[in-house]
Amino acid sequence: ILNVEQSPQSLHVQEGDSTNFTCSFPSSNFYALHWYRWETAKSPEALFVMTLNGDEKKKGRISATLNTKEGYSYLYIKGSQPEDSATYLCAPAPRSGNTPLVFGKGTRLSVIA
Amino acid sequence: DADVTQTPRNRITKTGKRIMLECSQTKGHDRMYWYRQDPGLGLRLIYYSFDVKDINKGEISDGYSVSRQAQAKFSLSLESAIPNQTALYFCATSGSRDRINQPQHFGDGTRLSIL
């Protein structure tokens, strides 16, 4: 099973602050990297899927970068808002044929107004 | 209407009972998954299916079984429920067989409590 680490486990920021968190995965066994946003009492929703080293994706104030050689991805939120409060999950897809995603435990973000 | 529908949304039952959770999708996806979520443990994969009648064990399959008789439906069964199977269960789907970089789409979840 792929070892996926997300840090920090939880984070509290003030409204308007920018923040970032990390997803680490084995660089030797990588095919794609997914980010999901999971609000309380809802289901996870896909944010980004990245496959190439150096990939950078953006959706509004949220962006993500990917380094497949060293095995990490960063998720950035610029000017955090209370509605950004959620758990952010990363999920690498291993390079082993038809193998499903492995989800990290997530980073729980709370934005304080 | 939701693309991925789970039924029931909530269920309370007793130890030893047989329980079936249903998942249906209108997205036309080949791949379907069952996860459970426990506090502090994130999403853990129970079973997955890449096509009709294709069944694969996930990380925590013991105590569960699944059925994929049609592309649109993937059911999860607990043959004899036990209290530590109390959790939030999610069904998810994703795009066609060879496109593992397709995102997963989740149902709204089934909250299961076993007394």
Quick: pLDDT tens for B29-51: 999 999 999 988 889 999 999 99
Q: For chain A, what is the mean pLDDT?
A: 92
> What are the DSSP E strand ranges found in B52-109?
56-57, 65-70, 73-78, 87-94, 105-106
* A43:B45 CB<8 A: no
CA distance B78 to A93: 28
Please give the share of chain B, as a percent, with pLDDT higher than 90: 85
CA distance A86 to A19: 13
Q: B2 pLDDT exceeds 70?
A: no
For residue A45, give how far its alpha carbon lies from the nearest alpha carbon of chain B (Å): 7
Quick: pLDDT tens for A63-81: 999 999 999 999 999 999 9
The residue in chain A having the minimum alpha-carbon distance to the alpha carbon of residue B48 is A100
Q: Which one has a higher pLDDT value, A6 or A97?
A: A6
Q: A87 pLDDT exceeds 70?
A: yes
CA distance B29 to B49: 11
The residue in chain B having the minimum alpha-carbon distance to the alpha carbon of residue A89 is B42
Please give the share of chain B, as a percent, with pLDDT higher than 70: 94
Residue B100: the pLDDT is 65
Based on DSSP, count helices (H) and strands (E) in chain A, helices before strands.
Answer: 0, 10
Beta carbons of A37 and A48 less than 8 angstroms apart: no
Burial of B51 (0-12, 13-18, 19+ CB in 10 A): middle
* A49:B59 CB<8 A: no
Closest C-alpha to A24, from A72, A57, A67: A72
Residue A99: the pLDDT is 77
Q: A57 pLDDT exceeds 80?
A: yes
Taking residues B19-36, report their average pLDDT: 95
Residue B57: the pLDDT is 95
Q: Which one has a higher pLDDT value, B96 or B88?
A: B88
* B106:A49 CB<8 A: no
Quick: pLDDT tens for B60-88: 999 999 999 999 999 999 999 999 999 99
Residue A31: the pLDDT is 82
The dihedral built from the CA positions of residue B26, B30, B35 and B41, taken in this order, carries a sign that is negative
B102 contacts in chain A (CB < 8 Å): 49
CA distance B82 to B7: 20
* B100:A49 CB<8 A: no
Beta carbons of B48 and A100 less than 8 angstroms apart: yes
CB B93: neighbour CB atoms within 10 A? 26
Residue B99: the pLDDT is 62
Residue A96: the pLDDT is 63
Quick: pLDDT tens for A17-45: 999 999 999 888 778 899 999 999 899 99
Residue B97: the pLDDT is 58
* A32:B33 CB<8 A: no
CA distance B76 to A21: 34
